[in-house]
Amino acid sequence: MNKRINIQKTYKLYIDGKFLRTESARYIKWQDSKETTQVNVCRSSRKDFRNAVVAARNAVNGWSSRTAYNRGQILYRIAEILEGRREQFMAELTLQGSAKKQAEKEIDQSVDRLIYYSGWADKYMQIFSRVNPVAMPYFNFSYPEATGVVAATAPEESSLLGLVSIIAPIILGGNTLVILASESRPLCSITFAEVLHTSDVPGGVMNILTGYRSELLEHFSTHMDVNAILYCGSDQEEIRLVESNSALNVKRPVVYPDQDWSKEKAQGPYHIMKTQEIKTIWHPIGV
Amino acid sequence: MKTEVKTLDFNTDWEYSPALESTDHIHIQEPTDLFISGEFIPGVRGKYFETINPANEEKIANVAEAEKADVDLAVKAARKAYDNVWSKMKPTERGKYIFRIARLIQERAREFAVIESLDGGKPIRESRDVDVPLSAAHFFYYAGWADKLEYAFPGRDAHPVGVAGQIIPWNFPLLMAAWKLAPALATGNTVVLKPAETTPLTAMKLAEIIQECDLPPGVVNIINGGGNTGQALVEHADVDKIAFTGSTEVGKFIMKTVVGTGKKYTLELGGKAANILFDDAPVDQAVEGIVNGIFFNQGHVCCAGSRLFVQENIAENVISKLKERMETLIVGDPLDKNTDIGAINSKIQLDKIKMYVDIGQKEGGSIFQSPCSLPKMGYWHAPTLFTDVSQSHRIVQEEIFGPVLAIQTFRTVDEVIMKANNTPYGLSGGVWTDKGSKIFSLSKKIRAGVIWANTFNKFDPSAPFGGYKESGLGREGGVEGLMPYVNLV
Amino acid sequence: MQSGTPTYTRNIDQVNAQERVTKLFSRSIKKESKIVALNTVLRMIDLTTLEGKDSQGKVKQLCYKAAHLHDQFSNLPNVAAICVYPPMVPVAKKALNGTGINVASVATAFPSGMTSLDTKLEEVKTVVAAGADEVDMVISRGKFLQGEYDWVSDEIAKVKEACGEAHLKVILESGELVTLDNVRLASDLAMAAGADFIKTSTGKVSPAATPSVVLIMLEAIRDFYKQTGKKIGMKPAGGVSKAKLAVQYLVMVRETLGQDWLSPDLFRFGASSLANDVIMQIVKQSTGVYQSTNYFSID
């Protein structure tokens, strides 16, 4: 038989602009529901998370200092690249259990959502800033600034659209991010890392890990150098854990319950504001 | 003790060799026809005019001239496209077309820059580094607004106005086209655009891009011609809104013309901006700012800093540095990458500038001009400044629209604020000082739409631009730039 | 305003300065003007070796290179000087005998400047006695940042005195001064105190010479010349390894100060690998073909 043997993909982690295996060298055996395909996904350790936070911290000053226009352009580029990789994501989404039509729609909406957020890059500042008419001779203005390093867990079921919906508003606002992929549908997240990598996104801005939430959530929520944590899901115990641990360094805890990410309200400028801080500046007016 | 004047010699042995931008990769349609309903077609009566290169007076192309019947065709096309296609399209999808335009401008950037310099006379370095990138940026910025209008106007729904008639000037041909088209399209309107008659070519290149990105036919129509064409567009009954950038004189004419028609309009007109230098200003950087303010784009800038006010106690030093700085300005072939000051756009404009320089001297002003050699063919004017002039001189009051600076001194803050505002214009102003509180105080008191503090002539798609008083009404750029193109309900 | 009294400028606008730099650097230097510029750059180089591991052998080889930049190509000019640590001055002096190339020595506890004034003056006198034509000193940055400007000036004046006939270059170490305001102030102080040249950096601290720092220093020189009639030289050091950047700096000099400063008497480049890059560009201009480092001696 002259059957061609194809080359199977290794799913690595994406940290600091590089594709690495977990330093723990452990794996999770992932299988599709029909048990035709088996993938060894990296089982990230707390050290991988630690390294990712270091990378994110190193990247945040540079990333948040870029012009809004530049960040918007990069997001647009991510959409361009994603559009060009439809086939690959179709294959993975269907492998992960989506119907073909559903997968196509999810890809369409993911690209459109990236374009949507790209368009906000140089505008959300205008909507959420103010000049405040204080009752003294001072010029007073308030505007949003990036919160800093954000840790997040991706939505379980919506492994592409949900992932994009979480990532885009965070990095658009100048933050850097460490995100833990869906446990049940991890493949898209790593392939999405490849899209990021080829889209002019600087290393360290986005870091994507795969692994068990049960092992990592404690570290995600207690790390003293993380400024905000986004949890996606409806598990009350996990939510309580995240919110309670956030108190350690007053992390901003944000919870996104399980939802239909294809709905209109799943996108919008208020999602950007979840990882922004308001800065107010005073200056005298006079000669 | 005699203090001898120490001079520097900028006429160095080391000269810059010509560094000409190549033109072999560009393509200009001959003839350049009207762009109506997605096609390039000649005028109904087949009339053409020539567009020339002001650097050498040579013809570049024949351009179709739109007469009343052509204007009518264009407006009909815009109306049809609005009713049947554009107003029915999902805003997100409209936005994607505008993103495509931005992308295509970036991909064909050099061709645009070269044609802009050939047609209008501005240095290639400017068209390459400023005009073209900013134009792409405008389309990018407004593309993003298409599906976000609900956030732009608190408490109001934004609806398009319908068909917009837009008339643009010759000083930033491509950029002005971007400033007009981008917000109009983003808010769901269709457009008939009339470029200036001396600079039609980059707008027609833009038409090619619009074709290339598959924009539905009739959404954007671009027609060429002079004052008559513009008038026909303004008077056309089926145009809902007029956007005009040009002289105050024509702006006033438009205001009168649309009375009783219900047409909305925005006007971006002339200016005679005050550029104010305080004694605590960073001097070398301020001198650079003065130069950028009046000599950038050959002074063909509505917001040019054409009135310099320098605090008397530093005036001698500043003016001396300014004159010295003018010695290294290179006037020459717009296609030479080292050129700082290009050609004057047309014979008419050159004659106007010369007239004012003449008036300035007759009025008793002291003139200084850059010691540069001017080419024989083409339209050129050396960078010029006048001292010993005041608010009562004509060259201080009237807009010259050329590389001519009028310099006055001032003694106190109150005096300079009064004089800065002592003009029917109010487009822009500049303040140079090291003191923050002075910046905010001056900015509040100067009656102009754009105040540049410790800088000048800076533009961004997200920052609103427009004038007070006779410099016009309405704003372009930013969120405010959406307002003229919507009805708020 | 009295002639001869320098006025101290304390406010430089960083953003505007950078914009001026960008404009100057957008000049396109081609063809004949490029060849002239490249040759001018070569004549302005202070070929430098300042490493703890420098030895007699290293310095001798560098001196030979200085006088034989690329013998395969005729009519290449020589560099202006060799710059070495004090113990190497006698070696360099002997090796460069008859070439017309100057010997410049660093001194005053280069690069940190962290020792007593007496030790520094002693060092200066030693290198001058050994035959150094030029002395490159460092200012006391700690004292400067403490606001002890008189102390800093005084030190420079004393070093100038110890130099005798030798030319004094004063290194500001702009990377440690951080702001352009500080660079301008330090430049003014140094010139008033007797510097013949003001120099950006030791090359041991990053950032070394940056374009806006160079611009501000040239503008300081311009104002000093207008006020006093004295022409002070300028030397960017460190961070200039590419011919293109060096030519861009020449543009900056030409359009800020003009003819007189386009000469090794008033402008130098402190560099080590710049020379070869310039030679490569000269050969490329002459042959029309892009070059490889394999064909140019290291030293």
B372 in active site: no
**Quick one: B258 and B395 in the same domain?**
no
How many separate domains does chain B show?
A: 2
Q: What is the CATH number of the domain that holds B122?
A: 3.40.605.10
Q: Tens digit of pLDDT for each residue in A38-54?
A: 999 999 999 999 999 99
Q: pTM of the predicted model, to two decimals?
A: 0.94
Q: Do C262 and B284 touch (CB under 8 A)?
A: no
Average model confidence (pLDDT) for chain B?
96
Q: Is residue C9 part of a domain?
A: no
Q: Is B200 a residue whose pLDDT tops 50?
A: yes
**Quick one: B162 and B306 in the same domain?**
no
Q: Is B1 a residue whose pLDDT tops 70?
A: no
Domains of chain A plus CATH, in order, are 13-284 (3.40.605.10)
Kindly name the residue from B21, B65, B268, B470 that is annotated as catalytic.
Answer: B268
- B156 vs chain C: nearest CA distance in angstroms? 39
Asked if residues C187 and C174 have their Cβ atoms less than 8 Å apart, the reply is no
Between residues 108 and 137 of chain B, which touch chain A (CB distance below 8 Å)?
A: 137
Structure tokens at A202: 């600087």
Residues of chain C with Cβ-Cβ distance to B434 below 8 Å are: 11
Best of A75, A117, A123, A265 to disrupt the B interface (most B CBs within 10 Å) is A123
Q: Is residue C221 part of a domain?
A: yes
- Residue A111 CA to residue A267 CA, distance in Å, equals 13
Residue C2: per-residue pLDDT: 39
Average model confidence (pLDDT) for chain C?
94
Q: Is C4 a residue whose pLDDT tops 80?
A: no
Q: Is residue B185 part of a domain?
A: yes
Q: What is the CATH number of the domain that holds B321?
A: 3.40.309.10
**Quick one: B414 and B482 in the same domain?**
no
B22 touches chain C (CB under 8 A): no
Q: Do B280 and C11 touch (CB under 8 A)?
A: yes
B and C: touch, per 3+ CB pairs < 8 A? yes
DSSP chain C: --TT-PPPP----HHHHHHHHHHHHT----HHHHHHHHHHHHHTEEEE---TT--HHHHHHHHHHHH-S-TTSTTPPPPSEEEE-GGGHHHHHHHTTTS--EEEEE-SSTTT--S-HHHHHHHHHHHHHTT-SEEEEE--HHHHHTT-HHHHHHHHHHHHHHHTTSEEEEE--HHHH-SHHHHHHHHHHHHHHT-SEEE---SSSSS-S-HHHHHHHHHHHHHHHHHH----EEE-BSS--SHHHHHHHHHHHHHHT-GGGSSTTTB-EEESSHHHHHHHHHHHHHHSS---GGGS---
Question: C270 phi and psi, to 5 degrees?
Answer: -90, 105
Residue C1: per-residue pLDDT: 38
**Quick one: B281 and B409 in the same domain?**
yes
Task: Please tell me which of the candidates B11, B19, B281 has its beta carbon nearest to residue C30.
Answer: B19
A97 touches chain B (CB under 8 A): no
Alpha-helical regions (H) of B187-336: 201-212, 227-235, 248-257, 283-295, 312-326
Average of per-residue pLDDT across B172-189: 98
Q: What is the 3-state secondary structure (H, E, C) of B332-397?
A: CCCCECCCCECCCCCHHHHHHHHHHHHHHHHCCCEEEECCCCCCCCCCCCCCEEEECCCCCCHHHH
Residues of chain C with Cβ-Cβ distance to B129 below 8 Å are: 26
**Quick one: B298 and B237 in the same domain?**
no
Q: Is B273 helix (H, G, I), strand (E, B) or coil?
A: coil
* CB pairs < 8 Å spanning B and C: 85
Between residues 332 and 361 of chain B, which touch chain C (CB distance below 8 Å)?
A: 337-338
Q: Tens digit of pLDDT for each residue in C208-234?
A: 999 999 999 999 999 999 999 999 999
Q: Tens digit of pLDDT for each residue in A228-239?
A: 999 999 999 999
Residue B406: per-residue pLDDT: 97
Residues of chain A with Cβ-Cβ distance to B187 below 8 Å are: none
**Quick one: B263 and B279 in the same domain?**
no
Residues 6+ apart with CB under 8 A from B298: B121, B122, B341, B342, B343, B344, B345, B381, B402, B403
Q: Tens digit of pLDDT for each residue in C116-172?
A: 999 999 999 999 999 999 999 999 999 999 999 999 999 999 999 999 999 999 999
Task: Please tell me which of the candidates C28, C29, C257 has its beta carbon nearest to residue B8.
Answer: C257
Q: Do A116 and B92 touch (CB under 8 A)?
A: yes
Q: Is residue B464 part of a domain?
A: no
Residue-range definition of the domain harbouring residue C196? 14-284
Q: Is residue B150 part of a domain?
A: yes
**Quick one: B254 and B375 in the same domain?**
no
Q: Is residue B225 part of a domain?
A: yes
Best of C22, C28, C225, C252 to disrupt the B interface (most B CBs within 10 Å) is C28
Residues of chain B with Cβ-Cβ distance to A116 below 8 Å are: 92, 147
Q: Looking at chain B, which residue has its C-alpha nearest residue A76?
A: B99
Q: Is residue B10 part of a domain?
A: no
**Quick one: B75 and B181 in the same domain?**
yes
Q: Is the ipTM of this complex over 0.85?
A: yes
Structure tokens at B149: 């209008």
Residue C198: per-residue pLDDT: 98
Best of B12, B278, B288, B433 to disrupt the C interface (most C CBs within 10 Å) is B12
Residue C298: per-residue pLDDT: 86
B76: pLDDT confidence band, cut at 50, 70 and 90? very high
C74: pLDDT confidence band, cut at 50, 70 and 90? confident
Q: Tens digit of pLDDT for each residue in A145-190?
A: 999 999 999 999 999 999 999 999 999 999 999 999 999 999 999 9
**Quick one: B186 and B327 in the same domain?**
no
Q: Is B14 a residue whose pLDDT tops 50?
A: yes
Residues of chain B with Cβ-Cβ distance to A110 below 8 Å are: none
Q: Is residue C3 part of a domain?
A: no
Q: Is B2 a residue whose pLDDT tops 80?
A: no
Residues of chain C with Cβ-Cβ distance to B280 below 8 Å are: 11
B280 touches chain C (CB under 8 A): yes
Residue C3: per-residue pLDDT: 41
Neighbours of chain B (3+ CB pairs under 8 A): A, C
- Residue A222 CA to residue A129 CA, distance in Å, equals 31
- B57 vs chain C: nearest CA distance in angstroms? 26
What sign has the CA pseudo-torsion C140, C146, C148, C151? negative
Q: Tens digit of pLDDT for each residue in B387-420?
A: 999 999 999 999 999 999 999 999 999 999 999 9
Q: Do A287 and B99 touch (CB under 8 A)?
A: no
Question: B434 phi and psi, to 5 degrees?
Answer: -90, -10
Task: Please tell me which of the candidates C12, C30, C254 has its beta carbon nearest to residue B12.
Answer: C254
A282 touches chain B (CB under 8 A): no
Q: Tens digit of pLDDT for each residue in B302-329?
A: 999 999 999 999 999 999 999 999 999 9
Q: Is residue B160 part of a domain?
A: yes
Q: Do B140 and A139 touch (CB under 8 A)?
A: no
**Quick one: B260 and B404 in the same domain?**
no
Average of per-residue pLDDT across A270-274: 97
Residues of chain C with Cβ-Cβ distance to B19 below 8 Å are: 28-30
**Quick one: B239 and B355 in the same domain?**
no
A and C: touch, per 3+ CB pairs < 8 A? no
Q: Is residue C289 part of a domain?
A: no
Residue A2: per-residue pLDDT: 80
Strands B264-268 and B472-473: antiparallel
Residue C9: per-residue pLDDT: 76
- DSSP code of residue A202: P
B328 touches chain C (CB under 8 A): yes
Q: Do A119 and B96 touch (CB under 8 A)?
A: no
Residue-range definition of the domain harbouring residue B411? 274-453
* CB pairs < 8 Å spanning A and B: 65
Q: Is residue C27 part of a domain?
A: yes
Where b means 16+ CB within 10 Å and e means fewer, A182-208 reads: bbebbbbbbbbbebbbebebebbbbbb
- B107 vs chain C: nearest CA distance in angstroms? 21
Best of B97, B417, B437 to disrupt the A interface (most A CBs within 10 Å) is B437
How many separate domains does chain C show?
A: 1
**Quick one: B67 and B210 in the same domain?**
yes
- Residue B27 CA to residue B365 CA, distance in Å, equals 46
Q: Is residue B3 part of a domain?
A: no
What sign has the CA pseudo-torsion A78, A81, A83, A89? negative
Q: What is the CATH number of the domain that holds C198?
A: 3.20.20.70
